[in-house]
A and B are shown apart, each in its own frame.
Chain A
């Protein structure tokens, strides 16, 4: 039984502390998988959140079937790892754009820059708005995290949260409208 399966089982039994252990393990696996994929692909290839997250699931959980709480926490951890990485990258890029960074970043190897489906500033505003959403509606916030950062489909996300697809759709409709308002009237839907 892998470490992650053990942790998921503990979560199923109601062990709240176990969730803290999950994030670093999931994060590390995602990082490894991304690095593997990147080393094989030529520049200009796509790196899909969905594929990464599900492969991480296969690697870490494999044939075991944790209950829905275990699955929910796994995918939330994966979504959180993706989110933090993207936001860190977005902040860095944002600062560089505004010329706020006067420390030379000095690396021998060329490194990749992640492009996202939502413009930089919107991504940062979205991240903050999500933190506010969590405060009064966990389900909607988790749904957005799972789908937008974790790359889960509508059905997969509903299943992870143990709600019907229809209920999930209702949450999704409101959440998107609310977030659109929060991040500003002139938010673009597609980046250039």
Chain B
């Protein structure tokens, strides 16, 4: 329940008054002395007198209330579970096995029976972690995901809370491996890798247009699954996604591991031997926002041009104007 600052200050002052009189009264063991003090200290304030008297009464009858720590008595075996695990039913879902774990939440593969039968991923706050700030972050993640509607972003199907009020949400189950693992395991060519990567860029662009920054895009957050024999990358885990109030058309997202390879304006002639793809990567990692791609979509488009052997936007700037020399138009 929120209180205004003024209300809080007033409440605190009231409590402090009660405490002050309570403490002073406690020191006076003789009932007559105590009564006299109370009459004087609370003169004119009947409510204060009542409160302090109630507090003193409670103090007298307090016994060993709270003296014994909450958990200090015998334990017995019972069939009330302390935490969930395989077999637990939460809402419409039956947990099958744990498939992921973070500091605050756990992800299970679960089975849904109604209204359709399928396997899903259920993410739930860990037992003991249901503090207000953790719940708020969890809810922010769920909302960020729920705003997305893109084939390359894991979908949210459902959300709820356990009978004890711990929130969870249910997502599309993505069975597969991380994008880097998929590419290496299947010996994908550079072209095939870039094709997958473009789809990831499109997913990121979709999020940006909804005003969501993922902030933690990395291979382990991009899974590749198979659908109709084709590999489909899916961005999962918006755990530290951040919602912004505006569409992200002017900004780009950097991975945490980006570092500049060299400032293009000062490249040596030897470095000018770099391929188009090298220049695309450098433009994506460029610290200077004038020289880097404005959106994930632009980035994806340049990759597309490279794959089609078309001239790309990335490349060495000319020394004087800072603009890239334009390639000769194709015949």
* Other-chain contact of A92, B12, B69, B94, B163 (Cβ < 8 Å): B163
Pair B62/A176 contact, Cβ less than 8 Å: yes
Residue A40 CB within 8 A of the other chain: no
A173-B26, A180-B62 given as contacts; is B164 within 8 A of A92 (CB)?
yes
B126 proximity list for chain A (CB < 8 A)? 24, 27
Interface locus among A6-14, A42-50, A58-66: A42-50
The residue of chain A having its C-beta at the shortest distance from the C-beta of B164 within the complex is: A91
Pair B76/A112 contact, Cβ less than 8 Å: yes
Rounded to whole angstroms, the CA-CA distance of A145 and B56 in the bound complex is 22
Residue A75 CB within 8 A of the other chain: no
Residue B71 CB within 8 A of the other chain: yes
Chain A 6-36 near chain B by CB (<8 Å), digits 1 or 0: 0000000000000011011001000100000
B82 proximity list for chain A (CB < 8 A)? 85, 89, 111-114
Question: In the complex, which residues 159-192 of chain A have their Cβ closer than 8 Å to any Cβ of chain B?
Answer: 170, 173-174, 176-181, 187, 189-191
The residue of chain B having its C-beta at the shortest distance from the C-beta of A88 within the complex is: B164
The residue of chain A having its C-beta at the shortest distance from the C-beta of B65 within the complex is: A189
Rounded to whole angstroms, the CA-CA distance of A29 and B103 in the bound complex is 13
Pair B11/A136 contact, Cβ less than 8 Å: yes
Interface locus among B85-93, B215-223, B291-299: B85-93
Pair A48/B70 contact, Cβ less than 8 Å: no
A46 proximity list for chain B (CB < 8 A)? 72-75
Pair A113/B87 contact, Cβ less than 8 Å: no
Please tell me the number of chain A residues within 8 Å of chain B, measured between CB atoms.
70
* Other-chain contact of A181, B19, B54, B71, B87 (Cβ < 8 Å): B54
Question: In the complex, which residues 60-86 of chain A have their Cβ closer than 8 Å to any Cβ of chain B?
Answer: 80-86
- How far in angstroms is the closest Cβ of chain B from A56? 13
Pair A181/B55 contact, Cβ less than 8 Å: yes
Residue B273 CB within 8 A of the other chain: no
Pair A150/B69 contact, Cβ less than 8 Å: yes
A106 proximity list for chain B (CB < 8 A)? 87-89, 94
A20 proximity list for chain B (CB < 8 A)? 133
A147-B66, A151-B69 given as contacts; is B15 within 8 A of A136 (CB)?
yes
Rounded to whole angstroms, the CA-CA distance of A146 and B91 in the bound complex is 35
Question: In the complex, which residues 112-140 of chain B have their Cβ closer than 8 Å to any Cβ of chain A?
Answer: 126-131, 133
Pair A100/B163 contact, Cβ less than 8 Å: yes
- How far in angstroms is the closest Cβ of chain B from A45? 7
Residue B63 CB within 8 A of the other chain: yes
Residue A117 CB within 8 A of the other chain: yes
A101 proximity list for chain B (CB < 8 A)? 163
Chain A 135-161 near chain B by CB (<8 Å), digits 1 or 0: 111000000100111110000000000
* Other-chain contact of B72, A48, A81, A189 (Cβ < 8 Å): A48
Pair A95/B128 contact, Cβ less than 8 Å: no
Residue A125 CB within 8 A of the other chain: no
Max count, chain B CB within 10 A of own CB: residue among A115, A176, A177, A189: A177
Rounded to whole angstroms, the CA-CA distance of A116 and B90 in the bound complex is 26
Pair A92/B128 contact, Cβ less than 8 Å: no
Pair A112/B77 contact, Cβ less than 8 Å: yes
* Other-chain contact of A95, B76, B78, B164 (Cβ < 8 Å): B164
A110 proximity list for chain B (CB < 8 A)? 77-79
Pair A149/B75 contact, Cβ less than 8 Å: no
Q: List 7 A-B contacts (CB under 8 A).
A: A49-B70, A85-B128, A111-B77, A114-B75, A116-B73, A149-B69, A181-B55
Instruction: Using A49-B70, A137-B12 as known contacts, list a sample of 4 further A-B pairs with CB atoms less than 8 Å apart, ordered by residue number in A.
Output: A38-B75, A84-B130, A103-B163, A114-B82
A residues near B (Cβ < 8 Å) are 20-21, 23-24, 27, 31, 38, 43-50, 52, 80-86, 88-89, 91-93, 95-96, 100-101, 103-108, 110-118, 123, 135-137, 144, 147-151, 170, 173-174, 176-181, 187, 189-191
B residues near A (Cβ < 8 Å) are 3, 8, 11-12, 15, 19, 22-23, 26, 54-56, 58-59, 61-66, 68-82, 85, 87-91, 94, 103-104, 126-131, 133, 163-166
